[in-house]
């Protein structure tokens, strides 16, 4: 989708649905945020820009990391998600960074030049229709010596959390049209050489991508069929199912997903592999 289509998507029913399930995403992706925060050297950072902040859970964790003297601006295109994020600011504990949220398209928004010393994101930078232009714009918001730290998904084939549900669903639903190469989307930054090229073209140096694999737990404390339905509200599988609302084969789709995921269900959750890149760099 183009940036304009992304804005429409995330401010429509999809954005509202994600806002309603933000508590699920907060729990599910906390280990991802913690891995990124542990990996990146954020020493000396006091004014951070969190791109694609969504419901703000990772923004607050970043605030814990940076400490009370720091400031964070969370930016997202989705007003429903930002309403959730603003509701969390009151939960900020003493000793955490101050946080504000802004609805804007980070790829083109006129940020104050050189205002930030950290560009941070958890899965928020893979959706730009012109990533070099977007990162160039974001680069302009960073001062000399500023740091870059974000995470993105590796290829779908390495991420069982989306591969296995898709495999099951496609037994009963038509295969969607394959996206164009390098099209914006959750797996747009799967190729590390492409990511490095984009960032270097935008003016970043010392770019490094470190692979990281972790286990994602879906449906904490739920039975298998409930966990499957939680998983079905997240990521690419949710879009596939939304495109086929009312399809007569949907009961068979969920039954197939349950069969596929049953071996991964234990201790009240579905355990599936997530493979990500931890990306770091700096501004000279």
- Which residue ranges make up each domain of the chain? 3-156+180-218+273-283
pTM: 0.94
| Residue 40 to residue 21: CA distance in whole angstroms | 28
Residue 175: how many CB atoms within 10 A of its CB? 9
pLDDT in tens, 158-212: 999 999 999 999 999 999 888 887 899 999 999 999 999 999 999 999 999 999 9
Q: Comparing 104-108, 114-118, 246-250, which segment has the lowest mean pLDDT?
A: 246-250
Handedness of CA 253, 255, 257, 259 (dihedral sign): negative
| Residue 38 to residue 32: CA distance in whole angstroms | 10
Closest CA to 72 of 122, 15, 136, 4: 122
pLDDT for residue 152 is more than 80: yes
The predicted pLDDT at position 1 comes to 64
Mean pLDDT of 56-72: 95
| Residue 111 to residue 175: CA distance in whole angstroms | 41
pLDDT for residue 12 is more than 90: no
Q: What angle do CA 73, 192, 148 make, to 5 degrees?
A: 25
Mean pLDDT of 248-268: 95
If one compares 229 and 9, the residue with the highest pLDDT of the two is: 229
Handedness of CA 241, 21, 34, 87 (dihedral sign): positive
pLDDT for residue 275 is more than 90: yes
| Residue 91 to residue 87: CA distance in whole angstroms | 8
Instruction: Report the CATH number of the 3-156+180-218+273-283 domain.
Output: 3.40.50.150
pLDDT for residue 4 is more than 90: no
| Residue 50 to residue 282: CA distance in whole angstroms | 15
Q: List, in order, residues 6 or more apart from 36 with CB less than 8 Å away.
A: 122, 149, 150, 151, 278
Mean pLDDT of 239-257: 92
| Residue 229 to residue 217: CA distance in whole angstroms | 13
Mean pLDDT of 230-238: 88
Mean pLDDT of 255-281: 97
């Amino acid at each position: 989708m183009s940036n304009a289509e992304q804005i429409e998507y995330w401010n429509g029913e999809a954005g509202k649905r994600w806002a309603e399930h933000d508590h699920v995403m907060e729990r599910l992706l906390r280990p991802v945020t913690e891995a990124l925060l542990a990996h990146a050297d954020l020493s000396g950072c006091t004014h951070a820009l969190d791109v694609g902040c969504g419901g703000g859970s990772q923004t607050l964790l970043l605030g814990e990391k940076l400490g009370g003297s720091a400031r964070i601006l969370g930016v997202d295109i989705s007003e429903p998600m930002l309403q959730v994020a603003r509701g969390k600011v009151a939960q900020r504990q003493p000793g955490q960074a101050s946080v504000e949220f802004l609805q804007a398209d980070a790829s083109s928004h006129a940020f104050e030049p050189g205002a930030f010393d950290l560009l941070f994101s958890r899965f928020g930078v893979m959706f730009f229709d012109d990533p070099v232009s977007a990162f160039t714009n974001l680069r302009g918001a960073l001062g000399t010596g500023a740091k870059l730290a974000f995470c993105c998904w590796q290829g779908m084939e390495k991420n069982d959390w989306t591969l296995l549900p898709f495999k099951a669903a496609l037994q009963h639903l038509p295969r969607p049209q394959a996206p164009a190469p390098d099209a914006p989307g959750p797996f747009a930054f799967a190729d590390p050489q492409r990511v490095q090229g984009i960032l270097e073209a935008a003016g970043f140096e010392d770019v490094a991508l470190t692979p990281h694999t972790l286990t994602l737990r879906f449906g904490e404390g739920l039975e298998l069929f409930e966990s499957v339905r939680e998983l079905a509200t997240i990521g690419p599988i949710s879009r596939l199912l939304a495109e086929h609302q009312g399809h007569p084969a949907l009961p068979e789709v969920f039954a197939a997903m349950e069969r596929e995921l049953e071996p991964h269900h234990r201790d009240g959750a579905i355990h599936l592999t997530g493979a990500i890149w931890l990306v770091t760099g700096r501004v000279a």
